Amino acid sequence: MIDHEENIKSIELRGDSLKNIKKQILIGPKDGFNGYMRMFTIGENGYTPYHTHDWYHVNYVTEGKGILRLGETENKLEKGSIAYVSPGMKHQFINTGKGDLKLLCLVPEKGDSY
């Protein structure tokens, strides 16, 4: 399977605990992968919910600047940053820069759906 990010539909996520978030599922079980590779675009002043779940995240920042809040610790992110969020760790991504914060996020199959 070969494709390009620009060809993949972007879904705007909505909710009271998040702001300015778009998600693309780049690769998933339909492509033969036993998990999901997702691209999140967090717009200016945007953030994900401060939440926890029982699966991991593997992240790679492709663009922008922000913070990954792990528990009560705020960790700076920038292009090229990598992060592992372990199962059960409360976490949140926050865009602190000008422009978009974009990050790849890999999760196991139970971590998302089409």
Averaged over 74-101, what is the pLDDT? Answer: 98
Question: Is it true that domain 5-111 has CATH number 2.60.120.10?
Answer: yes
Q: What pLDDT score was predicted for residue 90?
A: 98
Question: What are the residue ranges spanned by the domains of the chain?
Answer: 5-111
Q: Is it the case that residue 114 has pLDDT exceeding 80? A: no
Distance CA 99, CA 107 (A): 25
Residue with tokens 């036993």: 34
Look at residue 27 in the predicted model and tell me its pLDDT: 96
Per-residue confidence (pLDDT) for residue 105, from 0 to 100: 98
Strand partners, 108: 35
Q: And the tokens for 67?
A: 């913070």
Does residue 57 register a pLDDT over 90? yes
> Is residue 113 predicted with pLDDT exceeding 90?
no
Q: Is 90 in a helix, a strand, or coil?
A: coil
pLDDT, position 1: 85
